[in-house]
């Protein structure tokens, strides 16, 4: 894939370089306009004769990028059980040979619209890695099915991204679908493999400030052929500070309830009614990035998350663990309950 991109890009690049050279030759009156046009026509034919020229794209598509990656990985993990867990102080190891494959398309439609589609291995939202040999047997409930060696039960192609966006308004980007995370985040909060589903609105405006500069640096001395001294002065560059102010808002579908108005009596769970409305995760983020000279920058982006509705999957109340934080007692007895959760996060980096 990379080799093909290099070859196709090389043909287009040669055509562009030749076009600039032809324009220069015409200005220098070395060749005529007609001769230049004849050479351009030959270059056009050469480009169309390549495989890149055989791609037939819809007229509204002004840019199209094919990308992807493939990885092989060996993973080793180990650990010892605690003294109060049976069996105590035992040692456990985990060894896995894994692979990952991702391939996608990104493009621009009629200048202001953009889209993206990506296919990837694994159904896990937090990882696209697949383990070799992990599907020789599968268990569903109390039934175990033996698939034999070299099975394909865990080897599938899934839609990792599918989104459409619009940049027709100044400094604003609107996106909908299964998209790359539109928020400024760190790995402490969001896994980079998660592609949330919903809508997002982004605003970003940049300011550049110049400090100092305009003065004259120390003169440099050189000599001309007539042995006369020539003093060469150089104007110092101003010290520049770039400030990016941004605001990101997102509405992610957390749990879709269907049907939302079921027939008959409402369902109950634990003596409580099961919600019949969707659960949405809303994100509200503002921030700034300061870019200094010499590749130094600082960024801060305080973010607030809240949920609307509980859905029918996460409607149980969140229950924390033992405040004493003693081994297994510290684990939450219900980690997925989202009712009344209000989360504040402030990613920062330098």
Looking at the fold, whether 179 and 274 belong to one and the same domain comes out as: yes
Tell me 43's DSSP state. H
Helices 33-49 and 2-27, packing angle to 10 deg: 170
Looking at the fold, whether 256 and 347 belong to one and the same domain comes out as: yes
Looking at the fold, whether 96 and 129 belong to one and the same domain comes out as: yes
Which tops the pLDDT comparison, 310 or 234?
A: 310
Contact 315, 274 (CB under 8 A): yes
How confident is the model at residue 135, as a pLDDT? 81
- Look at residue 224 and tell me if it is in a domain: yes
Residues 167 and 63: their CA atoms lie apart, in Å, by 15
Looking at the fold, whether 299 and 227 belong to one and the same domain comes out as: yes
Tell me how many helices (H) and strands (E) the chain has.
Answer: 2, 19
**Pair of tokens at residue 82:** 């605690």
Mean pLDDT comparison of 10-24, 47-61, 141-155, 223-237, highest-scoring range: 141-155
Which tops the pLDDT comparison, 326 or 303?
A: 303
Q: What is the pLDDT of residues 181-203, one digit of tens each?
A: 999 998 888 999 999 999 999 99
Contact 316, 274 (CB under 8 A): no
- Look at residue 29 and tell me if it is in a domain: no
- Domain boundary among the residues 167, 182, 216 is at 167
- Look at residue 53 and tell me if it is in a domain: no
320-339 in b/e form (b: 16+ CB < 10 A) is eeeeeeeeeeeeeeeeebbe
Looking at the fold, whether 98 and 233 belong to one and the same domain comes out as: no
How confident is the model at residue 303, as a pLDDT? 97
How confident is the model at residue 83, as a pLDDT? 78
Residues 174 and 202: their CA atoms lie apart, in Å, by 6
Q: What is the pLDDT of residues 5-41, one digit of tens each?
A: 433 444 455 555 677 888 888 888 888 888 888 888 8
Looking at the fold, whether 187 and 326 belong to one and the same domain comes out as: yes
Looking at the fold, whether 247 and 112 belong to one and the same domain comes out as: no
Helix (H, G, I), strand (E, B) or coil at 58: coil
Residues 144 and 146: their CA atoms lie apart, in Å, by 7
For 68, left (φ over 0), alpha (ψ -120 to 50), or beta? left
What's the whole-number mean pLDDT along residues 206-229? Answer: 63
CB atoms within 10 A of CB 287: 20
- Domain boundary among the residues 132, 167, 202 is at 167
Looking at the fold, whether 66 and 89 belong to one and the same domain comes out as: yes
Looking at the fold, whether 140 and 194 belong to one and the same domain comes out as: no
Please report, for residues 43, 52, 117, the alpha-carbon distance to residue 63 in angstroms, rounded to integers and kept in the order given: 21, 13, 14
CB atoms within 10 A of CB 163: 21
Residues 234 and 218: their CA atoms lie apart, in Å, by 8
- Where residue 257 falls among pLDDT bands split at 50, 70, 90? confident
Percent pLDDT > 70 in the chain is 79
What's the whole-number mean pLDDT along residues 51-75? Answer: 83
**Pair of tokens at residue 240:** 């520049």
How confident is the model at residue 114, as a pLDDT? 96
Q: Which structural domain, as residue segments, surrounds residue 222?
A: 169-350
- Where residue 328 falls among pLDDT bands split at 50, 70, 90? low
- Domain boundary among the residues 129, 150, 167 is at 167
**75: which residues sit within 8 A by CB, 6+ positions away?**
94, 95, 96, 97, 98
Establish whether the linkage from the previous residue to 82 is cis, with ω within 30° of 0: no
The structural domain count of the chain equals 2
Contact 260, 303 (CB under 8 A): no
Q: What is the pLDDT of residues 119-177, one digit of tens each?
A: 999 888 889 999 998 888 777 777 888 888 888 888 889 999 999 999 999 999 999 99
- Look at residue 8 and tell me if it is in a domain: no
């Amino acid at each position: 894939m990379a080799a093909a991109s290099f070859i196709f890009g090389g043909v287009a690049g040669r055509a562009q370089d030749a076009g600039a050279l032809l324009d220069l030759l015409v200005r220098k009156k070395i060749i005529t306009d007609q001769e230049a046009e004849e050479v351009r026509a030959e270059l056009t034919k050469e480009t169309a004769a390549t495989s890149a020229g055989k791609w037939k794209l819809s007229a509204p598509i002004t840019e199209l990028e094919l990308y992807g990656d493939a990885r092989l990985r060996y993973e080793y993990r180990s650990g010892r059980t605690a003294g109060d867990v049976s069996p105590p102080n035992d040692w456990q190891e985990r060894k896995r040979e894994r692979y990952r494959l991702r391939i996608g398309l990104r493009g621009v439609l009629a200048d202001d619209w953009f889209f993206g589609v990506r296919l990837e291995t694994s159904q896990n939202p937090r990882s696209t890695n697949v383990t070799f040999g992990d599907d020789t047997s599968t268990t569903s409930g109390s039934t175990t099915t033996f698939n034999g060696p070299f099975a394909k039960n865990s080897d599938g192609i899934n839609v990792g991204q599918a989104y459409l966006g619009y940049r027709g308004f100044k400094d604003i980007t609107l996106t909908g679908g299964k998209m790359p995370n539109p928020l400024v985040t760190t790995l402490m909060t969001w896994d980079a493999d998660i592609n949330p589903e919903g809508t997002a609105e982004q605003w970003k405006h940049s300011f550049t400030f110049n400090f100092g500069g305009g003065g004259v640096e120390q003169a440099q001395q050189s000599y001309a052929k007539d042995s006369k001294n020539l003093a060469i002065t150089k104007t110092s560059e101003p010290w520049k500070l770039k400030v990016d102010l941004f605001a990101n808002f997102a509405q992610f579908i957390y749990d879709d309830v269907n049907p939302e108005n079921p027939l008959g009596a409402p369902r109950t769970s634990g003596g409580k009614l099961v919600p019949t409305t969707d659960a949405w995760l809303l994100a509200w983020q503002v921030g700034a990035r300061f870019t200094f000279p010499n590749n130094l920058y600082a960024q801060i982006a305080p973010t607030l998350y809240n949920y609307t509705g509980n859905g029918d999957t996460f409607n149980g109340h969140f229950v924390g663990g033992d405040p004493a934080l003693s081994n297994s007692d510290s684990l939450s007895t219900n980690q997925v309950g989202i009712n009344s959760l209000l989360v504040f996060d402030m990613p920062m980096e330098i």
